[in-house]
């Protein structure tokens, strides 16, 4: 087995891994190895925003997990896809750019992590982004990730914004600044018509400097220990087993499913779970894989009352070719948008302490996933529960690293999750009844949803809800007995081992996770490098004033 020595080994090249490797590579004389299980992101379908559904059919570039059976969903299995390529899920996602609600991060501080308040996180949000409307007290203007405000100039998008205001919601100019709650035009991590993933914005430039090395198609089998100190990893490339040594640290950035799996495979976790599989425990960290949480979503769908409401309808080969050519040569047109151009954050009921439902709006019906283009005139409000109380787990079914772990998300297991999502879809249906939709709204695919009793709404939810693909908190940061890492991302009871990815989030944030994952990585890598953290920037926000 070939062995190479580096200062740091980073497992995973997703949103967090790309940031960590790039920032470590800024230090002179430091050698960094990045191990990525998948291939390159060098594909037109990855770079073109509107083609985001196509990579989902590429088994080389995806992890396809099954969560379940989900008891609260009558035993359903839910397919969960993650990115397996340079850039990870950031090369696969919808590019919707959401920081989360400031109260989310103040909640982290209340959990015993005072350095993770909104004031402490804000400077790192600003550091990572280049906002197209310029820097201000809340926004950054010169970071690696380009942020584009979408146009939302089609009549269907304007009707959406008007209907939300007619319902009583404010029009929010920048939901990533003072006020999250309200209807808004979305921002996206799109750079002049091209997907701006962490892999593209951070890791690719770092590779050109020479002290960061990327090994693609490398499946890490375990972290190697000397006593309780992580000293390297064993990994596989093309059937060949290799070892790499880390003189300083091994940093896991595999995400909410892969990072806990690798810890367990390496002997970090509950002994009673590891020993029956023949895995020798290294340290007893009981929380590994526990506390998994994910955003659930269900679509409230309406057909259009007339032709011409939806874009991208009746796309034949010739029309698709024109869209592709316009994007390829001009970086403009339908190919340059992710189609999620407007959205909402609102409260499911007056009982919610702050906005707990997100809308991601699509101006069409039909199957947008898996590269299909059978689009129908209409629109759908993807209604997402932002802060579910249900918790799941990631556990091993085998000591074989090529086998997926067992994932139980426990979607809608908590009664309050059921209540909040039922209330959320009813309010959504009420928004669609506003007069702004009168000229476009046809028949509902679930008629009268706003008036139906719980006895009819809940079975519909259980049958139709899915994931928003935002798993986190399976290696939770904290100070209690079930936490896995400390405030600096160090795995409890070990040395030279950290986890830096969405799995360490103490609580899920209110919105898409790509942006807060990059923020978290920017903040934690400063601790790895021994740098003083950026000074906190206390700012007012709508839910605090």
- Written out in words, the top-level CATH class of the domain with range 1-67+83-145+196-288+469-539 is alpha beta
Instruction: Give the C-alpha separation, 9 to 342, whole Å.
Output: 40
What's the pLDDT score for residue 317? 60
Strand pairing of 32-35 and 212-215? parallel
What's the pLDDT score for residue 314? 66
Write out the two tokens for 425: 């879809």
Domain ranges (residues) in the chain: 1-67+83-145+196-288+469-539, 151-185+296-385+413-464
Nearest to 12 by CA among 252, 204, 263: 252
**Partner residues linked to 9 by β-bridges:** 33, 250
Q: Please provide the DSSP assignment of 27-48 as one string.
A: STT--EEEE-SS-----HHHHS
Write out the two tokens for 112: 């015993």
What's the pLDDT score for residue 369? 47
Instruction: Give the C-alpha separation, 250 to 86, whole Å.
Output: 19
Coil, helix or strand at residue 349: coil
| Cα-Cα end-to-end distance for the chain | 60
Among 80, 470, 492, 514, the one annotated catalytic? 470
Residue numbers in the chain where pLDDT is lower than 50: 1, 369-371
Predicted TM-score (pTM) above 0.75: yes
**The architecture CATH gives domain 151-185+296-385+413-464:** 2-Layer Sandwich (3.30)
Nearest to 348 by CA among 294, 302, 389, 391: 389
The answer to whether 404 is a known catalytic residue is: no
């Amino acid at each position: 087995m070939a062995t190479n020595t580096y200062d740091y080994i980073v497992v995973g090249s997703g949103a967090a891994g790309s940031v960590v490797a790039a920032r470590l590579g800024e230090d002179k004389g430091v050698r960094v190895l990045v191990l990525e299980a998948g291939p390159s992101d060098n594909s037109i379908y990855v770079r073109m925003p509107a083609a985001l559904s196509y990579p989902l059919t590429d088994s080389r570039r995806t992890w396809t997990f099954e969560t379940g059976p989900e008891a609260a969903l009558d035993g359903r299995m839910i397919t969960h896809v993650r990115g397996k390529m340079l850039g990870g899920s950031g090369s696969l996602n919808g590019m919707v750019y959401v920081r989360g609600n400031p109260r989310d991060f103040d909640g982290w501080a209340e959990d015993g992590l005072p350095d993770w308040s909104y004031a402490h996180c804000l400077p790192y949000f600003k550091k990572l982004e280049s906002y197209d409307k310029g820097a201000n007290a809340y926004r950054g203007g010169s970071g690696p990730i380009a942020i584009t405000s979408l146009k939302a100039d089609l009549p269907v998008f304007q009707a959406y914004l008007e209907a939300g205001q007619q319902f009583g919601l404010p029009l929010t100019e920048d939901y990533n600044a003072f006020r999250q709650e309200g209807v808004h035009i979305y921002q996206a991590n799109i750079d002049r018509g091209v997907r701006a993933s962490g892999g593209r914005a951070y890791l690719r430039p770092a590779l050109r400097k020479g002290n960061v090395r990327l090994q693609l198609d490398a499946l890490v089998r375990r972290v190697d220990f000397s006593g309780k100190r992580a000293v390297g990893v064993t990994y596989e490339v093309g059937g060949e087993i290799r070892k790499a040594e880390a003189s300083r640290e091994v940093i896991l950035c595999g995400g909410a499913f892969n990072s806990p799996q690798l810890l367990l495979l390496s002997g970090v976790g509950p002994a009673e779970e590891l020993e029956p599989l023949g895995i020798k425990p290294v340290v007893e960290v009981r929380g590994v894989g526990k506390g998994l949480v994910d955003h659930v979503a269900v679509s409230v769908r309406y057909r259009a009352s007339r032709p011409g409401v939806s874009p991208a309808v009746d796309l034949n080969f010739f029309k698709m070719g024109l869209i592709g050519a316009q994007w390829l040569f001009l970086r403009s047109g339908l190919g340059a948008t992710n189609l999620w151009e407007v959205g909402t954050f609102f409260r499911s009921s007056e009982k919610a302490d702050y906005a707990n439902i997100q809308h991601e709006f699509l101006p069409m019906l039909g199957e947008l996933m898996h590269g299909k283009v059978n689009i129908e005139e209409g629109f759908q409000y993807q209604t997402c529960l932002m802060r579910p109380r249900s918790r799941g787990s990631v556990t091993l079914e085998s000591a074989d690293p090529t086998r997926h772990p067992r994932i139980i998300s426990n979607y809608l297991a908590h009664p309050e999750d059921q209540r909040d999502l039922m209330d959320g879809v009813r309010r959504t249906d009420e928004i669609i009844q506003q007069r702004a939709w009168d000229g476009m709204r046809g028949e509902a695919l679930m008629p009268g949803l706003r008036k139906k009793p719980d006895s009819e709404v809940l079975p519909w939810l259980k049958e139709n809800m899915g994931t928003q693909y935002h798993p986190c908190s399976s290696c939770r940061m904290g100070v209690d007995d079930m936490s896995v890492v400390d405030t600096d991302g160090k795995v409890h009871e070990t040395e030279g081992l950290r986890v830096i990815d969405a799995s360490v989030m103490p609580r899920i944030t209110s919105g898409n996770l790509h942006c807060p994952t990059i923020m978290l990585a920017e903040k934690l890598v400063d601790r790895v490098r021994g740098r003083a953290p950026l000074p906190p920037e206390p700012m007012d926000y709508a839910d605090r004033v």
